[in-house]
């Protein structure tokens, strides 16, 4: 799922291409994409794009007449810049925003169509799409600490909760926790002040570094290769690969369609966190350390 760094770079690319341009037409092929009926989608056709905003992991397009088109890409939604009147493929193409200078095409891979569009009126309508999470870039330590400890969740859950923090998802939360040397399952209200400070700094550093890296990779173009799995990542998507800090094999916790990746040496004092599927199968035989895991593999 595109997160804060990805959405930031998307918006910067869109500002260069379509800010101040007139939207000629909206084409939608998926009946599941548009989630609102009032105002009608046709009401933004012929209007100039006046503003672009990030709302968490959403992109908000502000048109004349205080109309806001809010796009949530979800897991597999991606944006592409194409020539005017670009063809929409029947398999992945969901919609196209036809501007005077080209087509902004929305695609979504896979069979589960989760991406969404909402057209709302005015600032009040726009606020209805905001989950209320704290903007983490530039936030003060006391603001971050208050939000983090307001509920007693695991760190992974807290960081990815859009009502607590804005724009952090599965991928960058793994990177943040690795940078902070904290376990993803440690409870927020059990953190020491020093650990909270470490996490706050890791959020700032990780998000800033990734924005700068993605900007450099995109250059003067449009971000076409947005992905949750990048070779520069330390732990996310790196199961069994060596940790870049200590070379310990990266481990994972799998749940539903997601997984958490972590370094047991850097983050959990050598302890293996129970993976739901395997721990149910192995029960009391679930290994507690990497050494026990290696011994289990040799049996």
194 & 105 share domain: no
3-class secondary structure for 237-274? CCCCCECCCCCCECEEEEECCEEEEECHHHHCCCECCC
Which one of 97, 127, 157 terminates a domain?
A: 127
pLDDT at 294: 52
pLDDT tens string 44-55 = 999 999 999 999
Q: Give CA–CA dist 272/251, Å, rounded.
A: 8
79 & 164 share domain: no
159 & 57 share domain: no
CB count in 10 Å sphere of residue 196 = 19
120 & 139 share domain: no
Structural domains of the chain, count: 2
214 & 111 share domain: no
Evaluate if residue 281 carries a pLDDT over 80.
no
pLDDT at 254: 87
pLDDT at 287: 55
pLDDT at 282: 41
Record the pTM.
0.91
Evaluate if residue 19 carries a pLDDT over 70.
yes
Q: Give CA–CA dist 120/129, Å, rounded.
A: 9
Q: Give CA–CA dist 155/173, Å, rounded.
A: 9
pLDDT at 298: 47
Evaluate if residue 108 carries a pLDDT over 70.
yes
CB count in 10 Å sphere of residue 162 = 17
**Closest to 73 in 3D by CA, of 41, 48, 105:** 105
The stretch 34-52 carries a mean pLDDT of 97
pLDDT tens string 164-202 = 999 999 999 999 999 999 999 999 999 999 999 999 999
CB 22 within 8 A of CB 48: yes
70 & 17 share domain: yes
Q: What angle do CA 197, 203, 205 make, to 5 degrees?
A: 100
Q: In the structure encoding, which two tokens stand for residue 178, read together?
A: 């690795």
- 75: domain CATH number is 3.20.190.10
Domain assignment of residue 240, given as a range: 135-298
Evaluate if residue 136 carries a pLDDT over 50.
yes
Residue-averaged pLDDT of the chain:
92
The stretch 242-257 carries a mean pLDDT of 91
């Amino acid at each position: 799922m595109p997160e804060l760094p990805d959405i930031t770079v998307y918006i910067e690319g869109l500002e260069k291409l379509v800010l101040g341009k007139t939207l000629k037409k909206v084409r939608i092929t998926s009946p599941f994409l548009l989630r609102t009926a009032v105002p009608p989608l046709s009401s933004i056709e012929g209007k100039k794009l006046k503003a672009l905003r990030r709302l968490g992991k959403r992109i908000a397009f502000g048109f004349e007449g205080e109309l806001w088109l809010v796009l949530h890409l979800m897991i597999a939604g991606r944006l592409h810049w194409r020539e005017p009147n670009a063809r929409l493929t029947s398999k992945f193409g969901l919609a196209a925003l036809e501007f005077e200078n080209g087509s902004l095409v929305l695609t979504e891979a896979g069979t589960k169509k989760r991406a969404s569009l909402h057209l709302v009126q005015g600032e009040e309508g726009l606020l209805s799409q905001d989950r209320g999470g704290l903007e983490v870039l530039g936030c003060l330590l006391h603001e971050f600490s208050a939000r983090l400890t307001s509920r007693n969740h695991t760190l992974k859950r807290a960081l990815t909760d859009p009502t607590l923090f804005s724009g952090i998802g599965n991928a960058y939360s793994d990177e943040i926790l690795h940078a902070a040397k904290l376990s993803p399952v440690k409870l927020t209200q059990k953190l020491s002040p020093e650990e909270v400070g470490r996490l706050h700094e890791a959020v700032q550093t990780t998000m800033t570094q990734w924005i700068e890296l993605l900007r450099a990779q995109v250059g003067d173009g449009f971000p076409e290769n947005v992905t949750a799995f990048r070779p520069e990542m330390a732990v996310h998507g790196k199961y069994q690969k060596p940790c870049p800090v200590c070379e310990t094999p990266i481990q994972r916790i799998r749940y539903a369609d997601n997984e958490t990746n972590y370094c047991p040496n850097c983050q959990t004092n050598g302890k293996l966190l129970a993976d739901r599927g395997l721990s149910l199968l192995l029960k009391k035989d679930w290994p507690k350390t990497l050494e026990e895991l290696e011994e289990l593999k040799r049996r």
